[in-house]
Chain A
Amino acid sequence: MSIAVRFEEVSKEYRPSRARYASVRTELSALLRWLVRRRRPSGGPLERRRALDRLSFEVQAGEAFAIIGPNGAGKTTALKLMARISLPSAGRIRLCGRVGALIEVGAGIHPELTGRENIWLYGRFVGMTRAALAQRFDEIVDFCELAYVLDEPVKTYSTGMQLRLGFAVASHVDPDILVVDEALAVGDAAFQAKCSERMAHLLRLGRTLVLVSHNLSAVEALCARGLLLIEGRARSLGPVHQVVRDYIDWVDAQHHSAARPAGALLRGGGLVLTRLTAHALDGDERYVFRPGEGIEVRLTVQAETAIRSPWFSLGVSDGRPGALIMCSMLERAEAFDLAPGEHQLLCRLPALPLAPRAYELWLSVRDASGAVDILDWSCVGSIRIVDPSPPSGPGALSAPWMYGPVRVPFEWSKG
């Protein structure tokens, strides 16, 4: 298998802010001061901000590769270097094949021009030839579902429509290496699903995908290998499950405490969620489970006043909009009145038939009417499903994204 992207000891430094938006006046006065005092205006050498520090990694052709890490770790910088938008300060990058970047799509769309004109222009901007555009024009229009307003100026479009237009064009460039920033994760649920499907489609065609995301579940679902960047350095590199694991451990270590959710997690309407823990059915506090294993979620809440029948809803999400599993009191018409003071609530799921990856726990609480949120729908914790014996049939599915998030028993037979 050949290599699509190769970083060799790549560093990227940014000049300090003094150099940004400088004016001739500040430069001249700096020059004058230098002439008079014979030293640099800031008194010492200018400190450069190092966004990437001797980073080396390889992406195989045809694989889906994830770059994860906290904010400011250099993920977007790495993408921009790959897309040739920005150049490395040191080191070397080798690219085999044409790179297409989905970094904030639609940046070149002009509001005064019509959708049709914009498809032609934006297509050229992102690197399509006239012939390729002519050939794929109808496909692009189909994809963005904007045929009915194609000859209206884009300024009359909604934000979502403009986004669809940009993504439709940018994702039809058909590059050998597709570089995607998580900024893509905007737009409505249907559009996000479409984006994911488009990326999966390109993977099936054998294209290489490099994805930057904070959404660990999406990363695990789509990618086979990954890179964890911390402060511009490679902290972990390898199979995506391991890399995600390392990232979660790093986040844990940053938070010091073993019981992860601590302090007031959510507050509102006289109710405070102070603690949320996950447990195995035998009561052990755990955040890692096997597929199909049961789980108990324990909430500690502080009622500041008496609260009559608050409706709790707990959801399990894989990072995509909406919950995979919803455990709501509203469905059962059972709620408990809370007297002022501390209470513990338990939500028990005898089995969690989910595929191995990270999941988020979400919570909301509604007031007695059942219509108004006391606590908004928010992410309050996370768990991981890990499979000690990954599926290993003769044709184990080639990519993680091919496994659905929910695992139910199934059997094939000949009728």
Chain B
Amino acid sequence: MAAQGAVGGGAHLPELVIEGTRSPTTRAALAELWLHRGLVLAFAIRDVKVKYKQAILGVAWAVVQPLGLLVLFTLLVARAVTIRETDVPYPAFALSALIPWLFLQNAVVAGTGALLADSALVRKIYFPREAPILGAVMATAIEFWIGVGLYLALAPFVGARLGPTAILVVPLFVLCALLAAGVSVALGALNVYYRDVRYVLPFAVQLWMFASPVVYPLSTVPPRWQVLYVTLNPAAGLLDAFGRSLASGMPPEPMLLGLSTVTTVAVGWIGYRLFKWLEPAFADVI
């Protein structure tokens, strides 16, 4: 892999030594990514522009998706689910979970496909290959914040108890984005080698939704299983924290959120290492 050499070969220009035999350290990879942060932003801006270019409703689509699902869930599921400890109306809970969940889902789908969608660029231009993936995740973040705006506007009508804890949505979003990025780079890298990933993904994401507290609150899971649940599925702890801080006006459960955070960071790190390990041959295989 490439490494910025300290050896001054030319009179004034820094020398770059390229060797294909080693993967870069995480630190070196992140430094290289930081150098290309403008490029990540450029990918994100392009994705947003392209997405809304020909959509008549434009940004309204970001509102239609959560609202439609909210109505559906409320009509179909509300009576079957008993909300014990959160005791907020079901629509408030469902909307507080749907907005971060839709971000996770859309970001993972867009991020996983991003590298292949830009395969022409990968074959012609050098850049850290995670740039289009992270750009796609960033582009999806806009919908999340539109969704949060929608939530704040609807909160009085769906019976949410908005309080100061709502501000926690910012750090929780960062964790969600890290989780989405970690999953996306891992699946995106595998997608280059195994095109099956693309076909399995929509189904897997659906399963993930039902395995996460989106339709039902975390409190419906027996307490003794909750620790294992949020450790295996970091989305669960994050979504529960969203529900508590946005809908119930309570602080998140520190234990559950902590476990989910640990798993999220682990997913991010493992995903990135996997990506960097597979990255050197991307241009040859894609």
Residues of A within 8 A of B (CB): 2-4, 14-15, 19-25, 27, 61, 80-81, 83-97, 99, 101, 103-104, 107-108, 110, 112-113, 117, 120-121, 124-127, 129-130, 153, 176
> In the bound complex, do residue B50 and residue A23 qualify as a contact, i.e. CB atoms below 8 Å apart?
no
> In the bound complex, do residue A80 and residue B283 qualify as a contact, i.e. CB atoms below 8 Å apart?
yes
Partner of A94, one of B9, B21, B285: B9
Min C-beta distance of A259 to chain B, whole Å: 42
Give chain A residues whose Cβ lies under 8 Å from the Cβ of B124: 85, 101, 103-104, 107-108
Q: Determine if B118 is an interface residue (Cβ-Cβ < 8 Å).
A: yes
Residues of B within 8 A of A (CB): 1-2, 5, 9-11, 13-21, 38-39, 42, 45-46, 49-50, 53-54, 118, 120-127, 193-196, 280-281, 283-285
Min C-beta distance of A311 to chain B, whole Å: 45
A-B contact pairs, 7 of them (CB 8 A): A3-B9, A94-B17, A104-B124, A124-B42, A125-B42, A126-B125, A127-B127
Q: A101-B124, A107-B125 are in contact. Are A125 and B10 (CB under 8 A)?
A: no
Give chain A residues whose Cβ lies under 8 Å from the Cβ of B54: 112
Closest 10 CB pairs of A and B: A87-B20, A124-B42, A84-B126, A96-B10, A107-B120, A88-B20, A107-B124, A93-B18, A2-B10, A97-B13
Min C-beta distance of A108 to chain B, whole Å: 5
> In the bound complex, do residue B15 and residue A96 qualify as a contact, i.e. CB atoms below 8 Å apart?
yes
Write the chain A residue with the least CB distance to B47: A110
Write the chain A residue with the least CB distance to B54: A112
Min C-beta distance of A313 to chain B, whole Å: 39
Q: A86-B283, A125-B127 are in contact. Are A93 and B17 (CB under 8 A)?
A: yes
Write the chain A residue with the least CB distance to B14: A96
Write the chain A residue with the least CB distance to B190: A24
> In the bound complex, do residue B284 and residue A25 qualify as a contact, i.e. CB atoms below 8 Å apart?
no
Write the chain A residue with the least CB distance to B40: A124
Min C-beta distance of A16 to chain B, whole Å: 12
Query: With the chains together, A23 CA to B50 CA distance in Å?
Result: 31
Give chain B residues whose Cβ lies under 8 Å from the Cβ of A15: 281, 284-285
Min C-beta distance of B6 to chain A, whole Å: 13
Give chain B residues whose Cβ lies under 8 Å from the Cβ of A130: 38
> In the bound complex, do residue A121 and residue B42 qualify as a contact, i.e. CB atoms below 8 Å apart?
yes
> In the bound complex, do residue B121 and residue A108 qualify as a contact, i.e. CB atoms below 8 Å apart?
yes
Give chain A residues whose Cβ lies under 8 Å from the Cβ of B193: 19, 22
Q: A3-B9, A103-B124, A121-B46 are in contact. Are A87 and B17 (CB under 8 A)?
A: no
> In the bound complex, do residue B11 and residue A2 qualify as a contact, i.e. CB atoms below 8 Å apart?
yes
Known A15-B281, A91-B19; 4 more pairs at CB < 8 Å? A81-B18, A86-B283, A110-B50, A112-B53
Give chain A residues whose Cβ lies under 8 Å from the Cβ of B46: 110, 113, 121
Write the chain B residue with the least CB distance to A87: B20
Query: With the chains together, A95 CA to B7 CA distance in Å?
Result: 11
Q: A15-B284, A93-B17 are in contact. Are A101 and B9 (CB under 8 A)?
A: no
Min C-beta distance of A152 to chain B, whole Å: 13
Partner of B38, one of A94, A101, A129: A129
> In the bound complex, do residue B13 and residue A85 qualify as a contact, i.e. CB atoms below 8 Å apart?
no
> In the bound complex, do residue B11 and residue A108 qualify as a contact, i.e. CB atoms below 8 Å apart?
no
Query: With the chains together, A108 CA to B50 CA distance in Å?
Result: 13
> In the bound complex, do residue A125 and residue B15 qualify as a contact, i.e. CB atoms below 8 Å apart?
no
> In the bound complex, do residue A176 and residue B121 qualify as a contact, i.e. CB atoms below 8 Å apart?
no
Query: With the chains together, A213 CA to B2 CA distance in Å?
Result: 27
> In the bound complex, do residue A90 and residue B18 qualify as a contact, i.e. CB atoms below 8 Å apart?
no
> In the bound complex, do residue A25 and residue B196 qualify as a contact, i.e. CB atoms below 8 Å apart?
yes
> In the bound complex, do residue A94 and residue B20 qualify as a contact, i.e. CB atoms below 8 Å apart?
no
Give chain B residues whose Cβ lies under 8 Å from the Cβ of A112: 50, 53-54
Query: With the chains together, A86 CA to B15 CA distance in Å?
Result: 18
Min C-beta distance of B103 to chain A, whole Å: 24
Partner of B53, one of A3, A4, A89, A113: A113
Query: With the chains together, A93 CA to B54 CA distance in Å?
Result: 45
Query: With the chains together, A25 CA to B19 CA distance in Å?
Result: 33
